[in-house]
Amino acid sequence: MKIRHVGLGLALALLSLATANADVITRLGSSTCTIEFVQVEALVKTEVRFWPMGADYKRDPYQPYQFRGEWKFTWDGAGSDYVDFAGVLNFGDHYTVTDAGWLGGRSVQTFSGFAHYIHGRADWDSATRTLSYKLLPRDRDDGRASRVTQTAPPTCQPKGRACSVFMDTNQSLESLTLSMTFNETLDRFEGTVIATQFGGSGMTKMQSDTVISIKGELNAI
């Protein structure tokens, strides 16, 4: 697995593309992202929870995991019916606890400096100031919906069926859904991101939908 070292400062620089069209509206900013829940479809009932590094999942009370997001939105004029977006979902250092019941048991996956880079062209409803986007999956485990960077390879313990499937699964997303509503001046927004991964095959075939609530602030550039 190739590891890339990319900081948020560089991420913002990569997202900030120059434009010469005076009619173009561009907003750049950040958001608080909260993982509300992870829905897993698999042969056996499976639960996944995100934990900050250093937390003790056996002892500490669980709280929804929060991380930062970086965003760029570009409208091609005030009457545009679409908006181009680019974002960085900076999950950072964290670990997940996966309970896959009798088939996979309980396992712990550790991530370092983990981030999803996403982009696309979304539909824009100017009446409600709502952005809508859905990239459907094409092939299992193709990772077409995001590019992942990490500062170290992920780990999984204990060794067994669940960890074997995890280590063989592409960490990028296969599907992405966004729904965001903006205020009148386009400097605040909130909504939902659904990040979908597909992995495994046969008895280990699974789909994981991570539902993330987003609240952010933007500045004109």
The string of pLDDT tens digits covering residues 151-172 is 999 999 999 888 988 898 889 9
For residue 34, give the nearest of 167, 218, 216, 173 by alpha carbon: 216
- 3-state SS of the chain? CCCCCCCHHHHHHHHCCCCCCCCCEEEEEEEEEEEEEEEEEECCCCEEEEEECCCCCCCCCCCCCEEEEEEEEEECCCCCCEEEEEEEEEEEEEEEEEECHHHHCEEEEEEEEEEEEEEEEEEEECCCCEEEEEECCCCCCCCCCCEEECCEEEEEECCCHHHHHHHHCCCCCCEEEEEEEECCCCCEEEEEEEEEEEECCHHHCEEEEEEEEEEEEEEEC
Output the six-digit token pair for 196.
Answer: 């979908």
Q: Write down the pLDDT at residue 217.
A: 98
pLDDT bucket at 18, cuts 50 / 70 / 90:
very low
Find the mean pLDDT for residues 125-129. Answer: 95
Tell me how far apart the alpha carbons of residues 220 and 78 are, in angstroms, rounded to a whole number: 14
Q: Write down the pLDDT at residue 22.
A: 54
Lowest mean pLDDT among 72-76, 108-112, 206-210: 206-210
Lowest mean pLDDT among 120-124, 184-188, 202-206: 202-206
Q: Which domains does the chain have, with CATH numbers?
A: 8-220 (2.40.160)
Task: Give the residue carrying structure tokens 């309980």.
Answer: 106
Judge whether residue 136 has pLDDT over 60.
yes
Lowest mean pLDDT among 6-10, 109-113, 164-168: 6-10
pLDDT bucket at 116, cuts 50 / 70 / 90:
very high
Rounded to 5 degrees, φ, ψ at 119 are -165, 165
Judge whether residue 133 has pLDDT over 50.
yes
Report pTM: 0.87
Give the chain's mean pLDDT: 89
Tell me how far apart the alpha carbons of residues 72 and 119 are, in angstroms, rounded to a whole number: 9
